[in-house]
Amino acid sequence: MNSPTREEEWAIWLRAAISGDVGAYRRFLEDVTPRLRAMARRRCERYGALANDVEDIVQEVLLAIHLKRGTWDQSRPIGPWISTIVRNKLVDTLRRRGRHVSVPIEDIVDTFEAEEQTDSLERQDVERMLEQLKEHQRDIVRSISIEGTTVRETANRLHMSEGAVRVALHRALKALALRYRSDFT
């Protein structure tokens, strides 16, 4: 049983992230992602013809976790919180892709406990959504997505204040989620 320690680790990382620790947040997201991918792949295999969508779905679910991380009550275990978000988002995103599915919460919990490693893949959805954002939001997201660039470096490069970049980045991510929601409907 390694899941309790994993969840404890996630809780520690996310708690640090919420108070501003970028490194801890990256570790959290990187540790969650392979498990999301396994879940998404299972769903796609079961409901057919969606294999190419796996990585897009992973990114969309990551974005949902990101935007809703403030709803985690830090005095409670992180497992039920993240499983519920992932389940709801998976159902939602598969439905928008034309698949009516049900995802039992136990499946999510089981997959979170399993080990699985696969490579990150290049995907198009997020690029297409980015095209629809305001120009300065797009520039900021692209700039930061270039290997390891921080908010500070981006601020310098674009001649903006760090605070302005932070605000613009956050708004860009919210706008991105909105694009996801409207794009498939």
Partner 1 sequence: MNTDDFISVLAQDSTVRWPFGRTLAVATASGVAITGLAFFLGVGFRPDIAQALDTGRFLFKFLVTLALATMATGLIWRIARPGIPVGRWNWTLLAAPILLGGAVIVELLVMPESTWMSSLVGTNARHCLTLIPLLAIAPLICLLIALRQGAPARPGIAGAIAGLAASGIAASFYAASCTDDSPLFVATWYPIATVIVVLAGYLAGSRFLKW
How far apart are the C-alpha atoms of 37 and 119, rounded to whole Å?
10
Near partner 1 by CB under 8 A: residue from 39, 40, 94, 141: 141
Asked if residue 71 lies in contact with residue 101, where contact means CB atoms within 8 angstroms, the answer is no
Asked if residue 142 lies in contact with residue 135, where contact means CB atoms within 8 angstroms, the answer is no
**36, 49, 131, 142: which is closest to 82 by C-alpha?**
36
Near partner 1 by CB under 8 A: residue from 3, 120, 156, 161: 120
Mask 142-181, x = binds partner 1 (CB under 8 A)? --xxxxxxxx--------------x--xx--x---x---x
* Count of residues that interact with partner 1, criterion CB under 8 A: 59
Q: Does 58 bind partner 1 (CB under 8 A)?
A: yes
Near partner 1 by CB under 8 A: residue from 6, 10, 59, 179: 59
Minimum gap (Å) between residue 74 Cβ and partner 1: 8
Q: Does 22 bind partner 1 (CB under 8 A)?
A: yes
How far apart are the C-alpha atoms of 104 and 67, rounded to whole Å?
23
Any residues with CB less than 8 A from the CB of 127 and at least 6 apart, and which?
A: none
Minimum CB distance to partner 1 smaller for 42 or for 66? 66
Q: Coil, helix or strand for 160?
A: coil
Near partner 1 by CB under 8 A: residue from 3, 4, 8, 26: 26
**85, 68, 90, 176: which is closest to 126 by C-alpha?**
176
How far apart are the C-alpha atoms of 172 and 90, rounded to whole Å?
22
Task: Note the residues at the interface with partner 1 (CB under 8 A).
Answer: 17-26, 29-30, 33, 55, 58-59, 62-64, 66-74, 76, 79-85, 88, 120-123, 126-127, 130, 141, 144-151, 166, 169-170, 173, 177, 181
